[in-house]
Amino acid sequence: MNCNEVMDKLSLYIDRELSDDEIHLMEEHIKDCENCQKELEEYNNLISILQNLPEEEPPEGYCQRLHNKLKEANASQSKNLKINKFNRFKWMKYGSIAAALVLVFLVYGLNNLGLRTKNEAYDMAQPSESMIFPEVAPEVMESYDDVMSGEGGQSFAASDARAKISLDQREMKIIKSGSIYAQTEDYHKFFDDLSLKITSLGGLLESNNTEVYQRYNDKKLMYGNLKIRVPQENFYEMIGFIESSAEVRRKNINEIDMTKEYYEKDNKVKNLEIQEQHLRELFEKATTVEEMLLIENELRRIRTEIDGLNMSLKDIDDRASMSTINLEIEEVMPVSLTLKSQRSVLERSKEGFINTINSIVRTSEDLLVKIVSSSPILVPVIIIAVVVFLKIKKYINR
């Protein structure tokens, strides 16, 4: 170690902030170097003077003045705290008002929404009186080649041949369905007539759900939910019959053209069948177990696919050949009798009260459901809001 290094480290040496090795090296040098010895001595001297510099006493009254200032600070701080508390209360007050307002708007909004959806349903039902039946545009057959990866010229040829099936040869697959809501004054008579008509048209009553929905004096008022299936060519005759024998309040008729989808699926099935046959041939030629397993697996896959497709084809066939009518029929009293007697004010207000309670319960249930369902978003948002709020508060306090 040379003198410069020693000089540099003298300060740390005095404070014993060096490693043992370094101290040893320093001491070795200082022992032989007069200059550094002198320097060390001077430093030690200086530091001991510094350490022994007399401390000044704080001026008289220092503690008393500090005490007064502390009191002042304490007073202003507690005032601040009070202001803070007051602010917090104010915050809570305004916060709760805001929350209440939000709640009111929310409930109002929800109710409105509910009303609107009802209205919309009504609006949508309206035009069905003069229902425009969708025109079924003839679809141009597309060629369905390459449904399967060509396994040889044979299958290609086959798919080509199928693509040439002309439009005329194809049967239109149109699914007709209707739903009707009607009222009648004599349920049983209507029902008997209806049954006769269904039978004469070659249809069937698939389900019949009849109930007494109200009693009026001695008369039971009936309500029925019927599902009628008729051959598609007699669909409109059936509708006409219902319209003539009961008062139709809502009518909804749909025609869905499934032709394209049907033949697409049909083609697929045919292609798959060819592929299946091909695989069977291969299977016979197979020599190793591995090959056989592979082919068998493939065969099983194809079979499953064919079955699935056939099932939906059958379904389309069934639905296209037999149209479905959902009929809701409600028995009503003749107009003169249905006039309700004036109920007492008490009764009406009771009913209104119960309705209001019910709607409050329903709304709060809806609200609860909404809150719970949105909690994955709501909870983090609230946490973030609280954190931000605390941060801001802290910042303001500072």
Partner 1 sequence: MDNNERWLIEESKKGNIDAFEELIKDYKKSAYNIALRMLRNVEDAEDVSQEAWIKIFKSIRNFNMESSFKVWMYRIVVNTCIDFKRKKNINAVSIDETLDLGSGSEIQREIADDSNNPDILIDRNYDTQMVNDAINKLEDSFKTIIILRDIQGFTYKEISEILSCNLGTVKSRLSRARKNLKEVLENEMRS
In the shown chain, the binding pattern of residues 75 to 114 toward partner 1, with x for contact by CB under 8 A and - for none, equals: --xx------------------------------------
3-state secondary structure of 249: strand
CB of 32 to partner 1, least distance (A): 18
Q: Is 144 in the site for partner 1 (CB under 8 A)?
A: no
Q: Give dist(CA 281, CA 301) in Å, integer.
A: 16
Give least dist CB 396 to partner 1, A.
15
- CA atoms within a 13 Å half-sphere pointing along the CA-CB vector of 130: 1
How far from 276 is each of 56, 89, 269, CA to CA, in Å?
A: 108, 80, 10
- The residue from 20, 21, 32, 55 that contacts partner 1 (CB under 8 A) is 55
User: Considering only 67-75, 105-113, 208-216, 229-237, which stretch makes contact with partner 1 by CB under 8 A?
Assistant: 67-75
d(CA 190, CA 185): 9
DSSP classification of residue 17: -
Binding-site member from 5, 24, 28, 65 for partner 1 (CB under 8 A): 65
Beta pairing class for 247-257 and 204-216? unpaired
CB 42, min distance to partner 1, A? 6
Q: Does 318 bind partner 1 (CB under 8 A)?
A: no
Task: Pick from 5, 73, 143, 192 the residue near partner 1 by CB under 8 A.
Answer: 73
Residue 240 contacts residue 231 (beta carbons within 8 Å) = no
Stated as kind and residue range, the H or E segment containing 129 is: none
| 192, 199 Cβ separation under 8 angstroms | no
* Residue closer to partner 1 (CB basis): 42 or 142: 42
Residue pair 68/74 in contact (Cβ under 8 Å)? The answer is: no
Sign of the alpha-carbon dihedral angle for 231, 174, 125, 355: positive
Q: Does 34 bind partner 1 (CB under 8 A)?
A: no
Interface with partner 1, residue 15, by CB under 8 A: yes
Identify the residue among 47, 360, 382, 383 touching partner 1 (CB under 8 A).
Answer: 47
43 near partner 1 (CB under 8 A): yes
Of 134, 227, 121, nearest to 179 by C-alpha is 227
Does residue 290 bind partner 1 (CB under 8 A)?
no
The one segment of 69-77, 118-126, 292-300, 368-376 that binds partner 1 by CB under 8 A: 69-77
Site membership for partner 1, residue 53 (CB under 8 A) = yes
Does the footprint of partner 1 cover residue 249 (CB under 8 A)? no
What are the structure tokens assigned to 128, written together? 């069905």
- Judged by CB under 8 A, which of 31, 54, 132, 342 binds partner 1? 54
Task: State the Cα–Cα distance between residues 63 and 184, nearest whole angstrom.
Answer: 102
Backbone phi and psi for residue 334, each to the nearest 5 degrees, phi listed first:
-55, 145
Q: Which of 49, 137, 140, 377 binds partner 1 (CB under 8 A)?
A: 49
Eight-state DSSP code of residue 218: T
Task: State the residues that interact with partner 1 by CB under 8 A.
Answer: 8-12, 15, 17, 41-43, 45-47, 49-51, 53-59, 62-63, 65-67, 69-71, 73-74, 77-78
